[in-house]
Amino acid sequence: MPVTFHTREHFAPPTDGYGLLPFRFLDFDGRKFLVNEVGEHLFLEQATFEAFVSHHLAPSSSEYSDLKSKHFLFDSGADLPVSLLATKYRTKRSFLAGFTGLHIFVVSLRCDHSCHYCQVSRVSVNRQKYDMSEETAHRAIDLVFRSPANPLKIEFQGGEPLLNFELIQLIVTEVEHRAALDGRLVEFVIATNLAFLSDEVLSFCRAHEVLISTSLDGPAFLHNANRPRPGNDSYEVATRSIERVREELGYDRVSALMTTSRLSLDHPIEIVDEYVARGFDHIFLRPVSPYGFALRTRNKTGYELDEFLSFYRTALAYIIELNRSGTFLVEDYAKILLTKILTPFPTGYVDLQSPAGIGIGVAVYNYDGDVYVSDEARMLAEMGDKSFRLGNVHQSSYEELFLGEKLKSLIADTVIESLPVCADCAFQSYCGSDPLENFATQGSVVGHRPTSHFHKRNFEIISHLIRLYYGDDPFLRPLFWSWINNRPVRDLVPGMS
Amino acid sequence: MTDAPETPVRRVQEIDARYVELDSTLYTESVVFRVCHLFTDRCSISLERLDGPRLRLRFQSRDGADPDQAIRQFNNELINQRVRADIAAETQKIRELIVAQAFAEADVGRIT
């Protein structure tokens, strides 16, 4: 049977005009940067942009083809791509279907460390009244299993959660049992300073596949300055224990997070080198959160946004050079943003989504049974502000906590598609809302974007990554894709580092 | 852009203040307010309606910001915002279709 082809005229540019599809734009280094409803983007010269939006762009131009293939315009030459765009839109927001996947149990407020930036009030290790009770844990577990999410993630925090290890054992055992009955997958993480790591803890973690997350702020002088404890040996304890966890549980069963203090700002290279020396292939360059002791000890921990951005750019540049010379190291915040910029997939990072992940992505069960919309919310509560407390496990039903007007109202104020400035921002689909930071620093959940550090920090980092990706360095595109795929560049592009 | 009124008292009180007059048939109130909001980090801005379609905006710069530079940026941003408003109006129905279809076909999972 002969193959039938369309005539030559079928492929000719349409002559009856074109329509615009939804998109946002901003001025970017002398050009226009356009982003459509699902995050696809391109640059246009100013004159081309003016021709495009005034419906005068020539169908024979290369920009017309780019705009059409990336869904910025439609014409009679193809069907209106509503279904395709709807599929991509739904994919980008698929995090909404996993309602409250992360449940944080604050099993103890007690801690042996007295970190300057600690985000909760710490108390003496002897004060048992700051431990979560078994009854509170059981009530919280009941609430966890009302959440429709699958898989579930249970994270233990403190204080230092290993100071109440008996309760961790109880919760893990009970959750595993109920997950098996309910047909759910579940993952456990203990966020610990590792000072109380023991054979018993390691044995339990091995048997129940519990992951370990710890803090590593940099080399010894920096880590110990940021994280004081009796003996001033937090660094030695942490690094020794990291090796022990790797030997007993497996190399990838322990991860580390760093927090940028004022002292850190002068040592970006040393911090990155420390992560490489300790065998980590990920580092997350995190600014200090404006909560808890970070506010009270502002002289030691606080700094200006521009200082952090300078620190971030320096560290990122060094990480890029390490990768170029063959050391695979991912900067996790860049990876999250690049995934949002370059792919249609959500990242699971609850602090950068719209609506925000408060309550619907994460819930926190405090030691006393109070339920908060996020870890930052209980930090604010420890400072005396319980604005983000949803209720208490002993007094409130699931419906009151998670389907009530309080959470709905908070969530509505974090939909950036309708927030001032965000509504018109070209980076909207790459960014998110942080109602807690807005509230803590600006006094309202909605916040004031023109003076918001959260807004400026993300705007500057997103801009920086776009400049790098579309700049002159041919190594950066494969490198950034290697970060998105979590594989060294040489695995993606043979012959490259 | 126009200069401040020629009254000595007002000039003393309003040092560094600048005035801009706009034709509200070119820029809707929504466009003007969105751009004003964007500039609230560097200027204190007040608006008054003059006769006919004209609006007068008074800019008082904050924290040493250059008021003339702010007004140049403001004027450019007005044009961007007007274009954004036009694009939003032209594409609103398609956007609503995309979002409606996206959520209509979503698997919302189990609700217990």
B43-102: pLDDT as tens digits:
999 999 998 899 999 999 887 888 889 999 999 999 999 999 999 999 999 999 999 999
Are A81 and A172 part of one and the same domain? no
Are A215 and A66 part of one and the same domain? no
Contact (CB<8Å) A90/B105: yes
Cβ–Cβ under 8 Å, residues A112 and A230: yes
Nearest to A156 by CA among A237, A195, A227, A213: A213
Residue of chain A nearest B102, judged by CA positions: A86
User: pLDDT of A451-493, one tens digit each?
Assistant: 999 999 999 999 999 999 999 999 999 999 999 999 998 888 7
* Region of residue A218 (phi > 0: left; psi between -120 and 50: alpha; otherwise: beta): left
CA dihedral A459, A464, A470, A472 (to 10 degrees): 160
Task: Report the alpha-carbon distance of residue B59 to residue B14 in Å, rounded.
Answer: 10
Distances (CA, A) of A453 to A263, A268, A425, B61: 20, 21, 16, 20
- Domain locations in chain B as residue ranges: 8-104
User: pLDDT of A201-229, one tens digit each?
Assistant: 999 999 999 999 999 999 999 999 999 99
DSSP state of A371: E
Residue-range definition of the domain harbouring residue A80: 29-92
**B10: CB partners within 8 A, 6+ apart:** B4
End-to-end CA distance of chain B: 61
Enumerate chain B positions whose Cβ falls within 8 A of a Cβ in A. 34, 37-42, 76, 80-81, 83-84, 86-88, 90-92, 94-95, 97-99, 101-103, 105-112
Q: Does domain B8-104 have CATH number 1.10.10.1100?
A: no
Q: At CA A377, angle to CA A375 and CA A378, rounded to 5?
A: 70
Are A42 and A179 part of one and the same domain? no
Are A181 and A267 part of one and the same domain? yes
Identity at A119, one-letter amino acid code: Q
Does any domain span residue A119? Answer: yes
Domain boundary among A367, A401, A435: A401
**B85: CB partners within 8 A, 6+ apart:** B28, B30, B31
Are A274 and A182 part of one and the same domain? yes
Are A63 and A179 part of one and the same domain? no
Domain boundary among A56, A71, A92: A92
Put simply, whether A231 touches B (Cβ < 8 Å) is no
Are A84 and A119 part of one and the same domain? no
Count H helices, E strands: chain A?
20, 16
- What stretch of H or E contains A18? strand A18-20
Contact (CB<8Å) B102/A87: yes
Q: Say how many residues make up chain B.
A: 112
- What stretch of H or E contains B55? strand B54-61
Task: Report the alpha-carbon distance of residue A113 to residue A193 in Å, rounded.
Answer: 8
Q: Say how many residues make up chain A.
A: 497
pLDDT exceeds cutoff 70 at A299: no
Residue of chain B nearest A96, judged by CA positions: B108
pLDDT exceeds cutoff 70 at A390: yes
Copy the structure tokens of residue A206.
Answer: 């091995």
Does any domain span residue A138? Answer: yes
Are A68 and A171 part of one and the same domain? no
Domain boundary among A92, A119, A136: A92
From the list A19, A37, A421, which residue is nearest B95 (CB)?
A37
Cβ–Cβ under 8 Å, residues A47 and A57: no
Put simply, whether A93 touches B (Cβ < 8 Å) is yes
User: pLDDT of A98-144, one tens digit each?
Assistant: 789 999 999 999 998 988 777 665 666 566 789 999 999 999 999 99
- What stretch of H or E contains A27? strand A23-28
Average pLDDT (A434-462) is 93
From the list A89, A148, A449, which residue is nearest B110 (CB)?
A148
pLDDT at residue A7, rounded to an integer: 74
From the list B41, B80, B95, which residue is nearest A450 (CB)?
B41
CA A138 to chain centroid: 29
Copy the structure tokens of residue A382.
Answer: 């420890």
Are A285 and A265 part of one and the same domain? yes
Q: Domain holding A117: CATH number? A: 3.20.20.70
From the list B34, B92, B98, which residue is nearest A85 (CB)?
B98
Number of domains in chain A: 2
Partners of residue B80 in chain A, C-beta under 8 Å: 25-27
pLDDT exceeds cutoff 70 at A96: yes
Partners of residue A89 in chain B, C-beta under 8 Å: 98-99, 102
Does any domain span residue A457? Answer: no
Does any domain span residue A436? Answer: no
From the list A19, A53, A98, which residue is nearest B83 (CB)?
A53
From the list B39, B40, B94, which residue is nearest A21 (CB)?
B94
Does any domain span residue A263? Answer: yes
Average pLDDT (A147-166) is 95
**A269: CB partners within 8 A, 6+ apart:** A314, A315, A318
Contact (CB<8Å) A20/B105: no
Nearest CA-CA distance, residue A83 and chain B, Å: 7
At residue B103 the predicted structure's pLDDT band, cuts being 50, 70 and 90, is confident
Are A276 and A332 part of one and the same domain? yes
* Region of residue A317 (phi > 0: left; psi between -120 and 50: alpha; otherwise: beta): alpha
Residue of chain B nearest A50, judged by CA positions: B83
ipTM of the shown complex: 0.84
Could you count the other beta carbons within 10 Å of the beta carbon of residue A462? 20
pLDDT exceeds cutoff 60 at A24: yes
Contact (CB<8Å) A86/B112: no
Strand segments (E) across A158-279: 186-191, 210-215, 254-260
Cβ–Cβ under 8 Å, residues B33 and B81: no
Are A187 and A68 part of one and the same domain? no
At residue A6 the predicted structure's pLDDT band, cuts being 50, 70 and 90, is confident
pLDDT exceeds cutoff 60 at B40: yes
Are A111 and A85 part of one and the same domain? no
Cβ-Cβ pairs closer than 8 A, A with B, add up to 82
